[in-house]
Structure 1
């Protein structure tokens, strides 16, 4: 894996309605991410946090999209920051913030690959559009947007669309899918391992299949890891917890196998909300998983 890592903080809390997730990047830094990765031999450049605009008072008229303007502006800025980092030959490690920031991350990463693959490690599909979303929260839409589906201002972040092909995406850990998302997964053929498949096959098989599948068809792979992919018992500090999730140990195994595969070319860790957390426990989990992703071993 690339030994030069650029850390980009995105204190975004406007893709959803619960406050506090904007403090996620600070909590992850406080949990020792820089020190942990430096101990593994990586050269770290923390480029700081993006400046985020103000929360909008109402949903834009005739649009089921909360805080569209501010979310859009932040993701355009993130696109530029991530792309610049990649031009310098560095690995972008993005710290969220809510999951709406994946739109900007993927816009910045995808323009550097012909066939970018994505592992979406999440309890949710994030495949809603303004037509299907029950809430209007943009953090439930970034994967759909990156596939070219949704509001034109969002799908065209970075000046191009789509960023991804559905056959280059693997969702792992899903257990809270809206009806529109289920239909879309089946319609476009997104490879999905719900908790049913994880329980039935085991994480080792899930990751072996995922790695083999993406190696065949992509020239780079982005990991988008939402901490609510883990069970709330292991990661309590998230805005949309869903019981019955991935365990701490399963998640470490997944990260360890990705490290061994060498396929990951960028990553983001999102939805750490310190206000809802227990003594910064979820940020500590995020940092521990980053350690495994970047090659930390038990022995």
Structure 2
């Protein structure tokens, strides 16, 4: 079955409006590359940062639409390619991956582990709970089902102590930024079916506009090398988020989006068309 391109347009714990402004350009770039019209989920809302529980309540209608959308396309055997605004959208997508493909490894390319819970978070940021929800460490109202043994953190380097304790206790795999990270990732995945989450802040600060600047990130070449290493596996789908722009009236995110899309070309070539 073919690719299903999705564009999550709504607010999901946003600190600012810049990711919601960038996602149409990113969706346009991927639509051109994949020759598929995007399905748009939700509508942009002005960001007004609040604690995780308030942000979740605001985002839940669109997140439930996203969950139902993933349920439909995965039931149909389609491959989801999704442009996200923020990482918190994974609260809706990953439980559906776990439901339909419990054999899949989930690769979390992100500068942050996002394994905090409502009890451990010191910031109250919804995105910081984005992976712990699907792992069942708290109840987001959107389901769980993901397991630690099928979760691989890639390029993660800003890790809070409670998250580090969890990674160590649950033996969650971590592939740090290094010259040999593609080879390590290839061996760790070992041909298993995979679903890929990419937060643009996994890249070295300044590579593309994003919300956080965490030093010692991946280069675009390293991202492409990792994509090539993963291309021998069955690619269930991919979601990409946290690209920003400062101009709502232009496609100034088009250039950075093309940089990221180009680095991920080995993945796109592997998808059914």
Partner of 2:43: 51
Q: Does the alignment pair 1:253 with 2:221?
A: no
Match of 1:89 in 2: 77
1:38-87, CA deviations, whole angstroms, 9 ceiling, x for partnerless residues? 4xxxxx2422233366756754xxxx534121222222111101111112
| Secondary structure at 1:146 match in 2 | coil
Runs of 4+ in 1 over 3 A off after TM superposition: 51-59, 276-279
| Closer, same or farther: CA 222–90 of 1 in aligned 2, 3 Å | same
Q: Secondary structure at the match of 1:249?
A: helix
2:270 paired with 1:273: no
Q: CA RMSD in A?
A: 2.4
What is the CA–CA distance in structure 2 between the aligned matches of 1:191 and 1:6, rounded to whole Å? 29
1:263 and 2:234 are equivalent in the alignment: yes
Matched, 1:203 2:181: yes
Q: How does 1:69-88 map to 2 (within 5 A)?
A: 69-88=57-76
What is the aligned length? Answer: 267
Q: Report the 3-state secondary structure (helix = DSSP H, G, I; strand = E; otherwise coil) of the residue aligned with 1:266.
A: strand
> Structure 2: which 5+ runs fail to align?
none
Counterpart contact for 1:123–1:174, Cα < 8 Å: yes
- 1:107 CA drift (Å): 2.2
Residues 209/23 of structure 1: CA separation in 2 closer, same or farther (3 Å cut):
same
Q: Which residue of 2 aligns with 1:41?
A: none
**Which of 252, 255, 259 is 1:285 aligned to?**
259
Where in structure 2 are the equivalents of 1:1-299 lying within 5 Å?
A: 4-30=2-28, 32-38=29-35, 44-51=36-43, 58-59=50-51, 65-150=53-138, 152=139, 154=140, 156-157=141-142, 160=143, 162-195=144-177, 198-199=178-179, 202-212=180-190, 215=192, 220-235=193-208, 237-259=209-231, 261-275=232-246, 279-280=252-253, 281-295=255-269
Tell me if the contact between 1:222 and 1:265 (Cα under 8 Å) persists in the aligned partners: yes
Deviation at 1:292, TM superposition (A): 2.6
Q: Determine helix, strand or coil for the equivalent of 2:137.
A: coil
> Residues 114, 174 of structure 1: CA spacing in aligned structure 2 closer, same or farther, 3 A cutoff?
closer
Does the 8 A contact of 2:186 with 2:230 survive in 1? no
Question: For residues 24 and 82 of structure 1, what CA distance do their matches in structure 2 show?
Answer: 22
* TM score, norm. by length of structure 2: 0.89
Is the alpha carbon distance of 1:7 and 1:255 closer, same or farther for their aligned partners in structure 2, counting shifts above 3 Å?
same
CA contact (8 A) 1:15 1:71 kept: yes
Unpaired stretches in structure 1, ≥5 consecutive residues = 39-43
The 2-side partners of 1:27 and 1:274 are apart by 9
Instruction: Tell me the TM-score normalized by structure 1.
Output: 0.81
String of CA shifts for 1:122-143, please: whole Å, max 9, x gaps.
Answer: 1110101111112111111111
